[in-house]
Structure 1
């Protein structure tokens, strides 16, 4: 009976497979998104929407090529055009992912009532066969006058997980909130 209570008490606990780095990274990234949103930042979905639109175009091109009413020898030029468009749109999609998204897990607008005019880009890395999780917070528009300095946190995931793979959210929230506070802090002016 006591075991049952312990199980139901941890229903909301986030558990990861400690042997799968993707599972660990997913849990941590999901938690980072929750923390940033809880601080008043609203997620900017424009980049995701552009990717979805391009993906839809790619699927439509593939479907049109597959179900075109003429058979192969007659539709050869049409198929070549579809293949060309397919390659072009896939190239555009990969270019967006490589140049804009990189390791980003979250894009945000600036918080409501904020004096800054730029949101955040939250990125993370957990290299394969490594326990070091790197979280980076940067400005969505680094050229803006209101852009803050980029801040980074690198820590072993063993600091945040129990031996059973349960995320100790209090410790993780504390570290991520400290990083957000570090980003939001005003730079200290030097006294001459």
Structure 2
């Protein structure tokens, strides 16, 4: 809300939040918007985003780029730089393999990792939030799991699968109230789950 006074007249305006809109014919755009909104919801519940994994991926990606640049701009011509190029190719393949291993084993479909919520017990874990929206399907699956599944305080994974048509108007505007309600309900389900024996 903004209040302005001009020539003795007070005007009050209320800032209207821009609606979130997407192209309903673009599968990636829909998933991206829903994932971004889930991130907002989870962080609003006191979970702070853990960016360590993405930082590691960025670092490995930067190393790969540097290796490629060295191979491209090395100051000797081909026959003389043969061994150097072979070394660069081996390093390039090695670091790409490490990057793919991290994505395959750690991240899977996850788009958000968090620390435990502020004020929680010291042995609680953060969240790993992942989603799926198969191509040519309207069924969006949201999964919340423990960021450290081997921890003694890890809780069972919870998920829901719903049609995206329940959350979008015909013009592509996200009906945030409905989506927030569903996601918060899933977060509550996770928080209330008991550790399996």
Common topology (TM > 0.5): yes
**Over aligned residues, Cα RMSD in angstroms?**
1.7
1:25-44 deviations in Å (ceiling 9; x for gaps): 00000000000000000000
Q: 1:186 to 1:136 in 2, by over 3 A?
A: closer
Per-residue CA deviations over 1:19-70 (Å, capped at 9, x if unaligned) read 0010100000000000000000000011001001100100110111111111
- Whether 2:19 is the aligned partner of 1:13: answer yes
Counterpart contact for 2:127–2:146, Cα < 8 Å: yes
| From 178, 181, 188, the counterpart of 2:185 | 178
Instruction: Give the match's secondary structure for 2:145.
Output: strand
TM-score (normalizing by structure 2): 0.89
TM-score w.r.t. length of structure 1: 0.91
Q: Which deviations, in whole Å up to 9, do the C-alpha atoms of 1:83-132 show, x marking residues without a partner? A: 11001100110111111111001000000111252100000000000000
Give the alignment partner of residue 136 of structure 1, picking from 116, 130, 143: 143
> Could you say which structure has the higher strand fraction?
2
Runs of 4+ in 1 over 3 A off after TM superposition: none
Spell out the pairing of 1:28-177 with structure 2 (5 A cutoff). 28-115=34-121, 116-177=123-184
Instruction: Work out the CA distance in 2 between the residues paired with 1:72 and 1:188.
Output: 61
Any gaps of 5 or more consecutive residues in structure 2?
Answer: 1-14
- Uncovered stretches (5+) of structure 1, i.e. residues with no partner: 1-8
Q: 1:87 to 1:188 in 2, by over 3 A?
A: closer
Over 3 Å counting, the alpha-carbon distance change for 1:119 and 1:45 in structure 2 is same
Number of equivalent positions: 182
More helix per residue: 1 or 2?
1
**1:86 and 1:26, CA in 2 relative to 1: closer, same or farther beyond 3 A?**
same
Q: Structure 1 residue 144: deviation in Å? A: 1.2
Moved more, 137-146 or 33-42: 137-146
Secondary structure of 1:72's counterpart equals: coil
Separation (CA, whole Å) in 2 of partners of 1:101 and 1:12 = 31
